[in-house]
Amino acid sequence: MPPSPKRAASERHSRAKQAAEAKQISDRIDAMLEAERASVAKHKSVVRILLLGQSESGMAFLVLFDSRSFPGRKEYRPQKYASPVLVWSEPRVLCTLWRRRLAPASLKLTSLDFQLMYAREAFARDRENWKGVILLNVVRCMQRVVDALFQADAADEDDSADEFSPDAPPPISSLLHDSHRRICLRLRASLDVAERGLKARLSPNFANLPRSRPATAEQHLVDTEAETELAVQAHSWNLGTKEAVNVKQRRLSVLPQEIPIDPSDPNDPTHLIRMCRDDMIDLWNDLAVQEVLARRRVRWQEWPGFFLNDLERVTSSSYHPTDDDVVRARLKTMGVSDYSFVIDRGSRGTYLWRIFDVGGSRTQRNQWIPYFDDASAVIFLAPLSAFDQKLAEDRSVNRLEDSLLLWKSVVSNRLLADVDFILFLNKVDILSAKLRSGVKVQKYVRSYRDRPNTAEAAAKYFKEKFHAILREYSPKKRPFYCYLTSAIDTKATNVILDNVGESILRKNLQTIGVL
């Protein structure tokens, strides 16, 4: 039956409105690109920063960090932080503004105001698009909980065949009831379908992808063979070059789509997650389940993309991701992402900063070398909390050991001989929590011997190890810059990033003879 004239008119109106909005966005991007091009054409220098480290070291967090102080927030004052800097990141955060107090009063605020306005809208829209990734993070963590409970149950059955010992704790089977098992069975079935559905929606081509093949330019979200973890395919955004003309098109086409609900589809992922919501909340908040996880030494506190303590909020129908949620979400990088932005220092000219965020897993590391040639500085991230973890790509390798070997290989690389390294010993918050919970460094790092089992002592010890490698293996003498960081301490990390940015810029200016 044809739609009623009233409905047809309303649909026409809504289509026209959408087209007008799309054109408005498109025109703004055009104008912004033009402003960028004009600005980029006059910089004195290009500062290239490589973010290196193993997978899950926190490289994305570093790129995203200042989105916390995004100008949409009340405390943002353009007149004080006179030089907001446009960061392009695709598709994680379209535009993030970095505050830097480097610019003089002569800054051209018209163009920047315009950029701010656009970036705010783009960021808000992009945050919505993160919902799918965050729900996928929830599904993955919940699946890990369910798997751990099944394993605990099975292991307990095996143990119960052993001889009775009066000192042994009560078997886990006495903690887990049939109601737990029923929930786990229900969740296992539904979450698997929800996971597949979410991945397919996040990347329409995903379902058809052979798992071992690297992603093509169009396939932005892919699963990796090693861990079946959702990943983002890196992009280069070279604003100010000829390639910029294609930026608009590419950018609009690669936005991860918002995930609409299809009520007629029983396998619709959002619908399935809503159906699983109560089961997930009940299971996660169950004290017996928590005890089983603790007894099985399941360290959910260190799982990336962990939202199980926020289940009610993130699975509600009115959920809108916050900036913090975006920073906490986990999406693996594949390839090398290039974030370009401009720092305007008025009469001293403008500087193009390019930050290269690499994929840190082993299969990705061979792609780093072409970026070594003209790097101005390397920021290397090593997660200190990983001293007792195994590498996802090779379960026989300790993660901290891998970080140390990786550090050794990059500091000894001759292509980087003249480049300064800044070491971020990251995830100190998780390190502290882990040691407080009784995990012993000495058990995993024999050479630690009888040093105090505190975060301070462990950080000092690991810092010295990294320093010794730098001293011994650098082709030329170089200073050791090292910071202890943790994502949750936003204030401290902002100060560190400001200082690091300033010192890199100064060094760069000295190198090219401006200072």
Q: Which residues bind ligand GTP (CB under 6 A)?
A: 53, 55-61, 304-305, 327-328, 330, 332-333, 359-361, 426-427, 429-430, 486-488
103 binds Mg ion (CB under 5 A): no
Residue 333 counted as an annotated binding residue? yes
Residue 460 CB, nearest distance to ligand GTP (Å)?
A: 18
For the CB of residue 361, give the shortest distance to ligand GTP in the complex, in Å. 6
193 SS3 class:
helix
> Could you give the string, one character per residue 327-346, with x where binding to Mg ion holds by CB under 5 A and - elsewhere?
------x-------------
Nearer to ligand GTP, 61 or 353 (CB): 61
Nearer to Mg ion, 53 or 269 (CB): 53
Residue 253 to residue 67: CA distance in whole angstroms:
23
- Using CB atoms within 10 A of its CB, is residue 226 exposed (0-12), middle (13-18) or buried (19+)? middle
Query: Do residues 29 and 357 lie in contact, with contact meaning Cβ atoms separated by under 8 Å?
Result: no
Q: Give 59 or 416: the residue with its C-beta nearer to ligand GTP.
A: 59
Bridge partners of residue 241, in order along the sequence: none
Instruction: Output the smallest distance, CB 64 to Mg ion, in A.
Output: 10
54/83 with CB nearer Mg ion? 54
Q: Of 201 and 330, which CB lies nearer to ligand GTP in the complex structure?
A: 330
Element (H, E) at 472: helix 455-473
426 binds, among ligand GTP, Mg ion, none (CB under 5 to 8 A by kind): ligand GTP
Instruction: Find out whether 230 and 331 touch, Cβ atoms under 8 Å.
Output: yes
Considering CB distances under 5 to 8 angstroms, the limit depending on partner class, which of ligand GTP, Mg ion, none binds residue 89? none
Q: How far is the CB of 60 from Mg ion (least distance, A)?
A: 4
Measuring CA to CA, which residue among 333, 326, 435, 324 is closest to residue 384? 435
Angle at 397 (CA atoms; ends 393, 400), nearest 5 degrees: 105
Q: What is the rounded distance in angstroms from the CA atom of residue 229 to the CA atom of residue 364?
A: 14
CB of 433 to ligand GTP, least distance (A): 9
In the shown chain, the binding pattern of residues 29 to 68 toward Mg ion, with x for contact by CB under 5 A and - for none, equals ------------------------------xx--------
- Exposed (0-12), middle (13-18) or buried (19+): which is 100, by Cβ within 10 Å? buried
Residue 328 binds which of Mg ion, ligand GTP, none (CB < 5-8 A, kind-dependent): ligand GTP
Q: Which is nearer to ligand GTP, 350 or 426 (CB)?
A: 426
404 by DSSP, 3-state: which? Answer: helix
Nearest-angstrom CA–CA distance, 358 and 124: 25
Q: Considering only CA atoms, which of 148, 150, 147, 172 is closest in space to residue 160? A: 172
Is 434 labelled a binding residue? no
Q: Where are the alpha helices (DSSP H) in 41-177?
A: 59-64, 109-129, 131-160
Residue list, annotated binding site for GTP:
426-429, 487
Residue list, annotated binding site:
333, 426-429, 487
Residue list, annotated binding site for Mg(2+):
333
